[in-house]
Amino acid sequence: MDNRMDNKEAIIQAAIELIEEKGKQIDEITVRDICKKAGVGLGLVNYHFGNKDALIEQCVERMVSAVVEQFQNLQQTGADCSPFEKIEYLGNLTIDFLFDHPAISRISAISDMKSPSEHDNTSRTFEAYLPLVAECRPDLDEKELRRRTLYLVTIMQQVFVRQKNMSQIFGVDLGVKENRHSVHAQILHDILGGSQ
């Protein structure tokens, strides 16, 4: 049993390494590449995951989960920052991750849109943001906080997924980090109001 779990974890780790190496060329990763890097037989990918796409989705979920954990840690360690500074920092981390890992982020966002669940990356991001939105706007009731958090997470996904269109709408090249941060600050101001 342990050997099967070791093989499964080796496959996941190998796939993650290849995803990070290939960047935008995830489609170029083959099952053979993954198995060779993991040191396992070809049939184990299908045995453990069903197919390469399911494996890639699981790897992407794990990678994004690591970023979401950073968000949750920020809440505990960012005591010196104002609530707005925390959420701005968190948002910049989020949007930079999306743009710095476009293939992974696209798979994650589209997968969450096609098959939403309460534990997908979008939901976990929402849950990480909610307490920060609440800190920024303690005057709002729970329903309003949840709605504004949803707006924030959804708009950030759209800024990434529809980058070309959003660059036209905002009138800046969102491929440039400083422009993304400026747009994110404007989005925060629009959603959270004058509470900064």
Q: For residue 26, what are the domain limits?
A: 1-50
Rounded distance between C-alpha atoms, residue 107 and residue 30, angstroms: 17
Are the CB atoms for 48 and 125 separated by under 8 Å?
no
Q: Based on the domain organization, do 34 and 117 belong to the same domain?
A: no
Q: Based on the domain organization, do 108 and 128 belong to the same domain?
A: yes
Q: Based on the domain organization, do 92 and 186 belong to the same domain?
A: yes
Q: Based on the domain organization, do 34 and 83 belong to the same domain?
A: no
Q: Could you report the per-residue pLDDT of 67-104, keeping only the tens digit for each?
A: 767 766 666 665 678 888 888 988 888 888 888 878 77
Encoded tokens for 130: 């909610």
Rounded distance between C-alpha atoms, residue 123 and residue 84, angstroms: 21
pLDDT (tens place) for every residue of the chain, 196 residues total: 456 668 899 999 999 888 878 766 778 889 999 999 999 998 999 999 999 888 988 887 787 777 767 766 666 665 678 888 888 988 888 888 888 878 778 878 888 888 888 888 888 889 888 998 999 999 999 999 999 999 999 999 999 989 999 999 999 999 999 999 999 999 999 999 854 4
Domains: count for the chain: 2
Q: Based on the domain organization, do 127 and 160 belong to the same domain?
A: yes
CATH code for the domain of 22? 1.10.10
Q: Based on the domain organization, do 34 and 85 belong to the same domain?
A: no
- 152 inside domain: yes
Rounded distance between C-alpha atoms, residue 66 and residue 187, angstroms: 25
CA 109 to chain centre: 8
Q: Based on the domain organization, do 91 and 173 belong to the same domain?
A: yes
DSSP annotation of 28 reads: G
Q: Based on the domain organization, do 120 and 165 belong to the same domain?
A: yes
Q: Based on the domain organization, do 154 and 117 belong to the same domain?
A: yes
Which pTM value belongs to this model?
0.74
